[in-house]
Amino acid sequence: MSETQAQMSMNENDGNKLVYKTNGLNLWYGENHALKDIQLHVVENEVTAIIGPSGCGKSTYIKTLNRMIELIPGVKTTGEILYRGRNILDKTYPVEELRTKVGMVFQKPNPFPKSIYENVVYGPRIHGIRDKKILDQIVEKSLRGAAIWDEVKDRLQTNAYGLSGGQQQRLCIARCMAIEPDVILMDEPTSALDPISTLKVEELLQELKKNFSIIIVTHNMQQAARISDKTAFFLNGEVIEFTKTSKIFSNPSDKRTEDYITGRFG
């Protein structure tokens, strides 16, 4: 996408409340040029969806947003990702600080093999909170926020592995909320869930965006259309189109976007 297109697709008011701004990001796994000149921005209190065929760089991109990508040997990046105005790709940026601001939920629910309670207080404990009363409050607030409190309130001390997949995923969202992040990154968070659990998580996202910014990778086009404010279409490591979700699904500018969303490939 050209600079002009990127500018055009940026809502006039977006500039004031940018959470992330990615400028000319390139990423290589060894010789494999996986992200090419990415321009994208993320606005406060919005859900931004990332769609595109398998292998186009969606997970790679989302993992650069919290610098998880640097755990992989041989990864090289150029360009910048401004988070609240500071370039997180700058090696002097404190990654620990970033991780307290940016939570992540993965495709497969990944609770710790501990009690429901301990899963939620894990992050706050790392941040030094010891007071039992405060931890109790965090647990209730986070589990309520993730719409799972009523289902688990009477069994907080039981192992999280005893929950259903959909419950585990909402627990993981609660665990993420317990650190009071600014942004939540989600990589296909509902692909392992049944339709009812999926609906619950989708409803939850609409609630969460009142307080957080959400970036979600999804293969499910209906889901992107239902829940997101903006959508980025990735193809072969490039952003082909990035604009309001209503526009991308009703009147895409690029033929390749249209072909993808109408199911002609991918």
Contact between 198 and Mg ion (CB under 5 A)? no
C-alpha torsion sign, points 86, 91, 92, 98: positive
Q: What's the min distance (Å) between Cβ of 186 and ligand ATP? A: 12
Contact between 64 and Mg ion (CB under 5 A)? no
Residue whose CB is less far from ligand ATP, 56 or 201: 56
Contact between 168 and Mg ion (CB under 5 A)? no
Residue whose CB is less far from ligand ATP, 59 or 190: 59
Q: How far apart are CA 114 and CA 89, in angstroms?
A: 34
Name residue, tokens 């992989």. Answer: 72
Contact between 39 and Mg ion (CB under 5 A)? no
111 binds, among ligand ATP, Mg ion, none (CB under 5 to 8 A by kind): none
Of all residues in the shown chain, the one whose CB is closest to Mg ion is 59
Q: How far apart are CA 64 and CA 76, in angstroms?
A: 11
- Per DSSP, 159 falls in state B
Residue from the set 5, 26, 29, 149 that interacts with ligand ATP by CB under 6 A: 29
Residue from the set 7, 54, 92, 251 that interacts with ligand ATP by CB under 6 A: 54
Contact between 57 and ligand ATP (CB under 6 A)? yes
How many residues of this chain bind ligand ATP (CB under 6 A)? Answer: 12
Residue from the set 59, 168, 190, 218 that interacts with Mg ion by CB under 5 A: 59
Q: Is 124 exposed, middle or buried (0-12, 13-18, 19+ CB in 10 A)?
A: buried
215 binds, among ligand ATP, Mg ion, none (CB under 5 to 8 A by kind): none
C-alpha torsion sign, points 247, 248, 251, 253: positive
Contact between 189 and ligand ATP (CB under 6 A)? no
Strands (E), 134-261: 183-187, 213-217, 230-235, 238-244
Q: Are 155 and 185 in contact (CB under 8 A)?
A: no
Q: What's the min distance (Å) between Cβ of 39 and ligand ATP? A: 17
Tell me the two tokens of residue 157: 């001390």
54 binds, among ligand ATP, Mg ion, none (CB under 5 to 8 A by kind): ligand ATP
Strands 183-187 and 213-217: parallel
Phi and psi, residue 110, nearest 5°: -130, 60
Contact between 72 and ligand ATP (CB under 6 A)? yes
Q: What's the min distance (Å) between Cβ of 59 and Mg ion? A: 3
Q: How far apart are the first and last CA of the chain?
A: 20
- How far, CA to CA in Å, does 84 sit from each of 66, 182, 195, 253? 13, 10, 35, 29
**Where do contacts with Mg ion occur on this chain (CB under 5 A)?**
59
Residues binding ligand ATP (CB under 6 A): 29, 32, 34, 52, 54-60, 72
